[in-house]
Amino acid sequence: MRRVVCPGSFDPVTNGHIDIIGRAARQYDEVIAAVLGNVSKRALFSVDEKLEMLDECTRAFTNVRTAKFDGLLVDFCRENDIGTIIRSLRSVSDFDYELQIAQMNYQLSGVETMFMTANPQYSFLSSSLVKEVAQHGGDVSSLVPPYVEQRLREKYKE
């Protein structure tokens, strides 16, 4: 069983995340999309809201399940018998950051990190930008799944 994790903050999940999760699901037997719980940066959505959106938006993939984790990603990997972390690279600046994290994770545990290049269609896309556009009433329908678009609309109405 080749089980991998697609970890992230997912605040909220975007079409870019879904693209990577779906492509990973074609390459591996099981994909766990895992939301980080103890985020230090201020999040718009609670962990449970993020998990619920991720759940809803990955329902079509039969070999994807979702989870939340706290603490170190490598501990979550060990507890769930995961040998590989999947991360997306949109740009060289992503690579600079991700390389350090991947090397640290490998040093800590031997868990491998496999990088997938972002779909060029989504190389500009980030959860932060989606929130900024949505906050000011911009159209995010091509950037996030319809369910997330709806949740953003509700959130900014609150």
Q: What is 16-65 written as a DSSP string?
A: HHHHHHHHHHHHSSEEEEEEESS-SS--SS-HHHHHHHHHHHTTT-TTEE
d(C-alpha 55, C-alpha 104), whole Å: 29
Q: Can residue 88 be called a binding residue for ligand PNS (CB under 6 A)? A: no
Q: Can residue 44 be called a binding residue for ligand PNS (CB under 6 A)? A: no
d(C-alpha 66, C-alpha 21), whole Å: 11
Q: What residue is closest to ligand PNS based on CB?
A: 8
Q: Can residue 36 be called a binding residue for ligand PNS (CB under 6 A)? A: yes
Task: Give whichever of 38 and 62 is closer to ligand PNS, judged by the CB atom.
Answer: 38
d(C-alpha 77, C-alpha 111), whole Å: 8
Q: Can residue 9 be called a binding residue for ligand PNS (CB under 6 A)? A: yes
Determine which residue in the list 27, 46, 101, 110 makes contact with ligand PNS, applying CB under 6 A. 101
Catalytic residue numbers, as ranges: 17, 41, 90, 127
Q: Which residues sit at the interface with ligand PNS, rule CB under 6 A?
A: 7-9, 36, 72-73, 101, 104-105
